[in-house]
Amino acid sequence: MTEKTDMTRPVLVDQQALARHRARARLDRAGFLHDEARFELQERLLDVNRSFTDPAVITPFPDLWRDFLPKARLVRDAEVLDLAPGAHDLVCHVMGLHWAEDPVGQLVQCRRALRPDGLLMVVMLGGETLSELRAVLAQAETEVMGGLSPRVAPMGEIRDLGGLLGRAGLSLPVADRLPRRVTYQTMFHLLRDLRAMGETNALAARHRAPPPRALFARAAQIYAENYPAEDGRIAASFELVFLTGWSPHESQQKPLRPGSAAARLAEALNTTEFDDTARPLPDATKRSQE
């Protein structure tokens, strides 16, 4: 039965299981997504072209991200973040928000920790991640066990994740994605990598009993048949989603008020503007028949 914190909201994540998985992670073996995330965040910071004096980095893997930003304060990823209001001009939330029970609440806490015109940057796993594994496990479990259980965490689509920034009160929101296709020898090699990443199943509603051996054997067979890659390997999808928003400040650009444009679009395009009474001409076939 699903665990609950109150009478209305079911708990999505087993926090104790998630902590165990992260503690046994071996990112020295399977840290390629973190390497991609680090490189992309650095590129985005260069594009911002601003010096930050009081950064904070929120991550479930502080040892890996310790040297990401000089003098950055490292904050453990938790439901309540150890952030003081207005203490930072840059907050980076890295590789943890996809497991958050309340992602909007996390973003709100980050916004409150920012000074006016401070920058929030988030990188997390997106909805396309492990789409193949999700599909083959569902099919195999239906065949072998006659039903389904949650085995891969639901991850947000980019359009929905981008909307969280506005809900959290951040200005100038931007969301973009970086898809990655990775090949493995078998599905079991993929599962071994996920264990090394600390990204195995920590859903509160997961089946606690060990699954029958036939389940994963059948899933591996379905995977190989439906998602083949070169050299007899299998393909796996990962998606990094990047969210960027600013703490509101009066100096920031604002959208123009509707009707306040100083020039007409038709003039800029060097074309003719029609009013709402315009009608299309009869087509050539009708004119020739007349």
Instruction: Give the pLDDT confidence of 147-169 residue by residue, as tens digits.
Output: 666 667 778 788 888 899 999 99
pLDDT number for residue 145: 79
* Distance between CA atoms of residues 109 and 84, nearest Å: 9
Roughly what angle, to the nearest 10 degrees, separates helices 213-226 and 131-145? 130
Q: What share of the chain is helix, strand, coil (3-state, %, to 5)?
A: 40, 20, 40
The number of C-alpha atoms within 13 Å of 130 and in the hemisphere containing its C-beta is 19
Instruction: Give the pLDDT confidence of 22-76 residue by residue, as tens digits.
Output: 999 999 999 999 999 999 999 999 999 899 999 999 999 999 999 999 889 999 9
pLDDT number for residue 11: 82
pLDDT number for residue 158: 83
* Distance between CA atoms of residues 114 and 288, nearest Å: 69
Percentage of residues in the chain with pLDDT exceeding 90?
67
Task: List the one residue out of 179, 187, 184 whose CA is nearest residue 136.
Answer: 187
CATH entry, 15-248, from 2.60.40.1250, 3.40.50.720, 1.10.8.60, 3.40.50.150: 3.40.50.150
Backbone angles phi, psi at 34, to 5 degrees: -65, -40
Which residues, including other chains, have CB under 8 Å from residue 163's CB and lie 6 or more apart? none
* Distance between CA atoms of residues 181 and 185, nearest Å: 14
pLDDT number for residue 288: 41
* Distance between CA atoms of residues 95 and 198, nearest Å: 11
pLDDT number for residue 202: 84
pLDDT number for residue 239: 96
pLDDT number for residue 286: 44
Do 198 and 25 touch, CB atoms closer than 8 A?
Answer: yes
Instruction: Give the pLDDT confidence of 179-236 residue by residue, as tens digits.
Output: 999 999 999 999 999 999 999 988 877 777 777 889 999 999 999 999 999 999 999 9
* Domain definitions of the chain by residue range: 15-248
Total-model pTM: 0.81
